[in-house]
Amino acid sequence: MLTRRLIACLDVRDGRVVKGVNFEGLRDAGDPAELARRYNVEGIDELVILDVTATLEGRRALAQTIRTVARELFIPLCVGGGIRTGADADLIVEAGADKVSLNSAALQTPALITELAGRYGSQAVIVAIDAKRAGDHYAVFTRSATSAAGRDAVEWAREAEARGAGEILLTSIDRDGTRSGFDLDMTAALADAVNIPVIASGGAGTFDHFVDVFVDGRADAALAASVFHFEEHAVLELKRHLARAGVPMRLDKDVDPC
């Protein structure tokens, strides 16, 4: 049975994780590779590295981070943040990312979705949508979440799918950072509107928020950062909690050592 996915997001600036991490036993809590390793051991299903730098030095550090993580981790790795052109995406894919996440650039140049889907396959192209409630619909905002893009989130998700996106990463601006739970109505609206997977993001605070987003929000995957960063064993315990609530999860170690 296809399981729902838990995805850990690492916000990285100049090669360092910027949101605090307080696990015991980490030599260096700001090292993305070390954190990625830890999550992998705990059973995370996928990793997203979000580059919040956008300086040239930062981008070089990012490529090195991707290379280090991809050399030893063999689960899907998505990289987003500041990808404006096909050449930006090429650098990230060559460094070892399996998927790239497009946000503002896809809004400005929707043909970029099709270009990258043609080059790497739809499975490698995620379109990230930052949206918030606006009356009876959901309005799309650009990455900084400060300016309205003049698009409806459901309609933009459908267009992204038609242009070749393989997944949608939906972030609720209203809920992001609040720890008050995912926006279930918005997630369900998008999950019902497209036939590609929808990854829900923004608002995770408790284990039950994840149950809600899979059951009521009909999300295919859920992404979080700080929930995983601040508690040791949070990934494994959350997966067990979800499995007990009836949400299909990848849990077991299924292999003998070589």
Partner 1 sequence: MLALIDYRAGNLTSVRKAFAAIGADIATPALPADLAGARGIIVPGVGHFNVTASIDTPWREAIRAAVGAGVPLLGICVGLQFLFDGSEEAPGLPGLGVFGGACRLLRPAGSERLKVPHVGWNTLSRRGDSRILDGIADEAFAYFTHSYAAPIVDGTVAETVHGTGFSSVVERGNVFGAQFHPEKSGDVGLRLLANFVRVTRC
Q: Is 256 in the site for partner 1 (CB under 8 A)?
A: yes
At residue 145, the 3 state secondary structure works out as coil
Query: Please, what is the minimum distance in Å from the beta carbon of residue 79 to partner 1?
Result: 13
Residue choice 74, 87, 144, 146 for contact with partner 1 (CB under 8 A) = 74
Q: Is 197 in the site for partner 1 (CB under 8 A)?
A: yes
How many residues interact with partner 1 (rule CB under 8 A)? Answer: 37
H-helix or E-strand containing 4? none
CA torsion through residues 117, 224, 186, 146, sign: negative
User: Distance between CA 165 and CA 199 in Å, rounded?
Assistant: 13
Residues 149-188 vs partner 1: string with x where CB under 8 A? -----------------xx---------------------
Q: Is 124 in the site for partner 1 (CB under 8 A)?
A: yes
Q: Is 258 in the site for partner 1 (CB under 8 A)?
A: yes
- Using CB under 8 A, which residues numbered 200 to 239 contact partner 1? 220-221
Q: Is 31 in the site for partner 1 (CB under 8 A)?
A: no
Query: Which among 45, 130, 212, 220 is annotated as catalytic?
Result: 130
Residue choice 9, 83, 169, 196 for contact with partner 1 (CB under 8 A) = 196
Of 9 and 70, which CB lies nearer to partner 1 in the complex structure? 70
Q: Is 246 in the site for partner 1 (CB under 8 A)?
A: no
Residues 6+ apart with CB under 8 A from 134: none
Q: Is 57 in the site for partner 1 (CB under 8 A)?
A: no
| Phi, psi (degrees; rounded to nearest 5) at 200 | -95, 140
Query: Which among 11, 45, 51, 212 is annotated as catalytic?
Result: 11
How many residues are recorded in the chain?
258
What separation in angstroms does the CA of 107 have from each of 8, 60, 97, 214, 227? 25, 25, 22, 27, 29
Type of residue found at 213: V
User: Distance between CA 197 and CA 33 in Å, rounded?
Assistant: 27
State the helix-helix crossing angle for 207-215 and 184-193, rounded to 10 degrees. Answer: 30
Type of residue found at 27: R
Active site residues: 11, 130
- Where do contacts with partner 1 occur on this chain (CB under 8 A)? 1-5, 40, 45, 70-72, 74-76, 93-96, 98, 120-124, 166-167, 195-197, 220-221, 250, 252-256, 258
